[in-house]
C-alpha cells in the first residue's frame, strides 16, 4: 500500500511508519516536528519507499502520486504539549483533519483517524464502550485536546455520510513504549524518568485513579488492522487490564530497582478518575486484542530509556551543554 502518515515522527507515528515499511508499504511521513523527533525516523530515511515531508497539516496541501490510505496522527497528544500548544492542538483536530480528509477523498483512499479515550472525558460510565458519549468539560484545561478529537470524529463521519469518504475511527487509550519523550507529561514516561533519576515519583491525589496501559507494538497492530479494514468504527484500542497509578509506580520502582519514594500532589482539574476500554468491537471487527503484559512492556520501555540517557535530560539542560532541544 501507499500510505500517508501525519505525525509520523512522533512516538506512536514513528512506530507505525516502521511497521508499514517493514511489511513492504510505501510510506510518506508528514510532520512539523512541534512534538515529534527526527531521531525517531532517522533509521527509516534510507529505507526503500519511505519519505518524510516537513509540513503543517493545518495548511492545505496536495500530494503527488497514488495514495491508498491516510492515517491522521498529527496532534500534540501529551498534557504538557497541548497545554503549551492549545491553539495548534485545536487546529490539528479541525483544519488538519479536514485537509487530510480532502486528500483521502481526492485519491479515493482509506482515511483513519487516531482519536482518543479523552473523548470520554472523566467518564461517568465504567468501563467505557463506544456507545458512551462521554463526560467532557468543554472549557476546561484539557478541552483543547478532548474537543479537538471529538470534532475530528464528527467531521470524519460527516465526510463519510455526505461525501462517501472511506473513514475509520479508532479511540486510543494510554499507550507506552520506546521513543516516549521523558518530559512529555505522560504518566509512564514521567515515573520512569523520576525513578531512573533518583527523584520521588509524583502521584496525584492518592494515586488510586486507574488507567489501562497498552504497549506500543500492540497499538500499532490495531492501527494497521484498521488501515486494512473497511469498518468505520469507532473502535476502542487499548488494554482492558485496569491498574491504579500507584500500582504502576510501584511496578516501575521494582523494575528499575530505584529506591525513590512517592510524592503526592493535588489531583489536576478534570483528570479522569477511572478509565478502561471495552474492546469487544475491536476483537470482533478487527480481530485485535493486546498481547504484551504490562510488566514485559515496562521492562522494554525502561531498557530503552537506559539506552538513551540524553533523553532523560530536560530540553533546556540539553541546550546548555550544546545538544539540540
CATH number at residue 229: 3.40.50.720
Q: 122 in a domain, yes or no?
A: yes
pTM of the predicted model as reported, rounded to 2 decimal places: 0.93
**What is the tally of structural domains in the chain?**
1
- Regions of the chain short of the pLDDT cut 70: 314-325
- pLDDT score, position 267: 85
145 is catalytic: yes
Q: What is the tens place of the pLDDT at every residue in 197-244?
A: 999 999 999 999 999 999 999 999 999 999 999 999 999 999 999 999
Select which of 82, 120, 132, 145 is catalytic. 145
Q: Within a domain: residue 183?
A: no
Query: What is the pLDDT at residue 315?
Result: 58
- Looking at residue 321, its pLDDT comes to 28
> Among 129, 104, 54, 110, which residue's Cα sits nearest to residue 224?
110
In a domain? residue 187: no
* Residue 314 resides in a domain: no
User: Which parts of the chain fold into alpha helices (H)?
Assistant: 11-22, 79-84, 86-91, 97-106, 143-163, 187-196, 216-228, 245-256, 280-286, 294-307, 315-320
- Per-residue cell: 185: 507529561
Residue 36: which domain range? 2-177+214-240+270-291
- Within a domain: 209: no
In a domain, 158, yes or no: yes
Amino acid at each position: 500500500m501507499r500510505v500517508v502518515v501525519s505525525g509520523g515522527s512522533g512516538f506512536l507515528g514513528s512506530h507505525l511508519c516502521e511497521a508499514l515499511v517493514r511489511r513492504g508499504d510505501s510510506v510518506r511521513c508528514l510532520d512539523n516536528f512541534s512534538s515529534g523527533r527526527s531521531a525517531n525516523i532517522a533509521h527509516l530515511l534510507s529505507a526503500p519507499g519511505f519519505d518524510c515531508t516537513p509540513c503543517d497539516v493545518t495548511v492545505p496541501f496536495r500530494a503527488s502520486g497514488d495514495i491508498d490510505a491516510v492515517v491522521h496522527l498529527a496532534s500534540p497528544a501529551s498534557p504538557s504539549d497541548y497545554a503549551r500548544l492549545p491553539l495548534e492542538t485545536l487546529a490539528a483536530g479541525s483544519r488538519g483533519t479536514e485537509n487530510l480528509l480532502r486528500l483521502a477523498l481526492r485519491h479515493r483512499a482509506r482515511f483513519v483517524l487516531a482519536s482518543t479515550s479523552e473523548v470520554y472525558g472523566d467518564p461517568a460510565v465504567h468501563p467505557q464502550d463506544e456507545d458512551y458519549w462521554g463526560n467532557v468539560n468543554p472549557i476546561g484545561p484539557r478541552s483543547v485536546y478532548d474537543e479537538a478529537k471529538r470534532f475530528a470524529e464528527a467531521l470524519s463521519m460527516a465526510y463519510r455520510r455526505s461525501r462517501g469518504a472511506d473513514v475509520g475511527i479508532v479511540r486510543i487509550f494510554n499507550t507506552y513504549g520506546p521513543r516516549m519523550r521523558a518530559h512529555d507529561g505522560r504518566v509512564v514516561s514521567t515515573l520512569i524518568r523520576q525513578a531512573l533519576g533518583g527523584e520521588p515519583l509524583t502521584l496525584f491525589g492518592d494515586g488510586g485513579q486507574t488507567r489501562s496501559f497498552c504497549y506500543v507494538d500492540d497499538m500499532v497492530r490495531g492501527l494497521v488492522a484498521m488501515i486494512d479494514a473497511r469498518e468505520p468504527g469507532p473502535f476502542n484500542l487499548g488494554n482492558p487490564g485496569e491498574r491504579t497509578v500507584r500500582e504502576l509506580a510501584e511496578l516501575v520502582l521494582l523494575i528499575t530497582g530505584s529506591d525513590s519514594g512517592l510524592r503526592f500532589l493535588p489531583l489536576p482539574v478534570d483528570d479522569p478518575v477511572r478509565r478502561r476500554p471495552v474492546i469487544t468491537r475491536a476483537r470482533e471487527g478487527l480481530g485485535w486484542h493486546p498481547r504484551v503484559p504490562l510488566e514485559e512492556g515496562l521492562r522494554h520501555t525502561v531498557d530503552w530509556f537506559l539506552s538513551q540517557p540524553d533523553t532523560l535530560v530536560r530540553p533546556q539542560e540539553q541546550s546548555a551543554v550544546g545538544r539540540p532541544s
